[in-house]
Chain A
Amino acid sequence: MSGFWTLFRRELAMAWGKGGGPIVAVAFYACVATLLPLAVGSSPQRLAAVAPGSAWLALALASLLSLERLFERDYEDGALDLLTLGPVPLEIVSATKCLAQWVSTGLPLALFTPIAATALGADTRLIPLTLASAALGGLGFAFVGGIGAALSLGSRRGGVLIAVIVLPLFVPPIILGGGAMAAMAGGLNWQPGFLLLGAYSLAAVALGPFAMAAACRNALS
């Protein structure tokens, strides 16, 4: 347990340290959300119709931003060797890194999601569900994104490769999360979408670390 906290604190310190990854991710999110009315037109009805889906799309894109550095910087400077020789197996190391990624970047983005969705014209009744589903979906984004980050270790243009690996895997949460919000806005039952989103994220938390650890071992050898 002490190993977990040692690593978790380091990961948070690195995420919030110089470079301010989370702030950049939120700023990127704000930019995408601002560009949307310029692209589709500012008519309120039209914007309100696309607000939940666009908020989710922007969330998925913003979640990609800091993934590139998740394993890459430790791989480049040899810290991944050290992490391998620690008190816990690489599976727990990967899970800890993704959890820290979620806390440092996913949660700030989740806090911003209701703001963006409401600014685009989504109903204010949707705020609690938007916040909850963005936080839950962000957990899935962090763990699925971690798989892409580990798989692209050592490749040039890792960032683009991560996007190509990971974006198709982001399809279910975008459909389920955006769908739950659209269902609630339309007065339908939003629970199935939300619960399936939870199932997706928990599956990512349970299975992702094994894939990440295998990819890291492969990159180190």
Chain B
Amino acid sequence: MIRQVQVENLAIVRGDRLLFEGLNFSLQSGQAMSLTGRNGAGKTSLLRAIAGFLRPAEGNIHFKGASGPLEPEEARAGGLHMAGHQDGLKSNRVAEDEFLFQARWTGATPGGIAKAREALDLDVIADLEVRKLSAGQRRRLSLARLIASPRPLWLLDEPLAPLDAAHRTAFGLMMQAHLAGGGMILAAVHDPLPIGTLSLEVGG
């Protein structure tokens, strides 16, 4: 289980454009960090690099557990959730099927599934096709797996953008509970999150 993420001297290049270089930060168990920066500064790329999808041009990403350093593959497998605007939902499938697949695939327990259903108010949209959901309802559906299958590190890309006020508050409470349980959150945002966070400007 990941207790710390440490980023050292990270540089990311997309195509032939240098997004940022010399980025250093560390995130401990129980902490959240907001990534800010202009459009195209590399916030999403940073999240994808930590998730292991992008290879950084330079620098290192270290994961530490309770008993010392973890191998990156070992830490990432089952250790992190990535949720962004690419929500992976199939528009011609029923919301309930997609939720159950995403939750079970990431290792949810029946208890976790029930909790997520309740927390994100999924019952009202369960039998709808994903294509008929609003942007906010889609987001709730894709965030549900974070609650259903507990993983220590949440990588969020504009998580609140399409949510209404009530669900923003509700998801804020879920983030707080996640941090209180020793989790970590790294979120790319333009509007501040409803919880206390560290903050990091990307590509300043």
B46 to chain A, nearest CB (A): 14
Can you name the residue of chain B whose Cβ is closest to the Cβ of A81?
Answer: B82
B53 — which chain A residues lie within 8 A by C-beta? 81, 84, 220-221
A221 — which chain B residues lie within 8 A by C-beta? 53-55
Contact-size category for A = 20 to 34
Query: B137 within 8 Å of A by Cβ?
Result: no
A17 touches B104 (CB 8 A): no
Query: A39 within 8 Å of B by Cβ?
Result: no
Q: Tell me which of B23-31, B86-94, B118-126, B167-175 binds A.
A: B86-94
A79 — which chain B residues lie within 8 A by C-beta? 88-90
B90 touches A77 (CB 8 A): yes
B144 to chain A, nearest CB (A): 13
Query: B8 within 8 Å of A by Cβ?
Result: no
Q: How far is the CA of A17 from the CA of B93 in the complex (A)?
A: 8
With A6-B101, A19-B92, A84-B53 already in contact, the answer to whether A78 and B84 are too (CB < 8 A) is yes
B106 touches A85 (CB 8 A): yes
- How would residues 32 to 57 of chain B score, 1 for a CB under 8 Å from any chain A CB and 0 otherwise? 00000000000000000001111100
B104 — which chain A residues lie within 8 A by C-beta? 2, 6
B92 touches A87 (CB 8 A): no
A86 — which chain B residues lie within 8 A by C-beta? 105-106
Q: Secondary structure of the B side of the interface?
A: loop
A22 to chain B, nearest CB (A): 16
Can you name the residue of chain A whose Cβ is closest to the Cβ of B78?
Answer: A87
Q: Tell me which of A7-15, A24-32, A50-58, A189-197 binds B.
A: A7-15
- How would residues 62 to 94 of chain B score, 1 for a CB under 8 Å from any chain A CB and 0 otherwise? 000000000000001110111011111111110
Q: How far is the CA of A87 from the CA of B108 in the complex (A)?
A: 11
A82 touches B78 (CB 8 A): no
B51 touches A14 (CB 8 A): no
Q: How far is the CA of A8 from the CA of B132 in the complex (A)?
A: 25
B180 to chain A, nearest CB (A): 24
Can you name the residue of chain B whose Cβ is closest to the Cβ of A221?
Answer: B54
